[in-house]
Amino acid sequence: MKFHQAEAAEKERQEKEKERQAKAAEKEIQRQFELDKAEKEKQEKEIQRQHELEQRRQKLELVAAAEEKKLQLELKKKEEEREFERLRLAAEREQREYEDAKLAREREQARFAADRAEELEKLRHAHEMEKCTLSSG
C-alpha cells in the first residue's frame, strides 16, 4: 500500500510540476507577448516621431526656400534700383556735359561773331577815313 501511495504521491507531484511548468510557460509566453507588444508600440512611436520630424524638416526647408527666394528678390530689386540710379546719374552727367559743350560752342561762336563784327567795324571805319581823305584832298 505504501508503494501505491508513494506512486500516487509521485504522480501527483509530477502532475503539479507539469502544471507549474505549464503555468510558467504560459506566463513566459504572456510576458514575451507583452514585451513584443511594447517593442512594437515603441517602434510605431519611433516611426511616427521620425515621420513627424521629416514633415517638420520638409516644412522648414520650404519656409527657408521661400525666405531665400524673397531675399534674392529683394537683393535683385535693390541691385536694379542701384543700377537705375547709376544710369540716371550718368544720363544727368552726360546731359550736363552736352549743355556745357553747347554753351562753350555758343560762346565761341559769339566771340567769333564779335571779333568779326569788330574787324568789319574797323574796316568800315578805315574805309570811311579813306573816303574822307580822298574827298578832301
The per-residue pLDDT for 2 is 75
Distance CA 134, CA 47 (A): 127
Which pTM does this prediction carry? 0.46
| pLDDT higher than 70, residue 137 | no
Per DSSP, the three-state class of 137 is coil
The per-residue pLDDT for 1 is 66
The per-residue pLDDT for 102 is 96
Average model confidence (pLDDT) across the chain? 93
Residue 14 amino acid letter: Q
Interval 41-47 mean pLDDT: 97
Strands (E), the chain: none
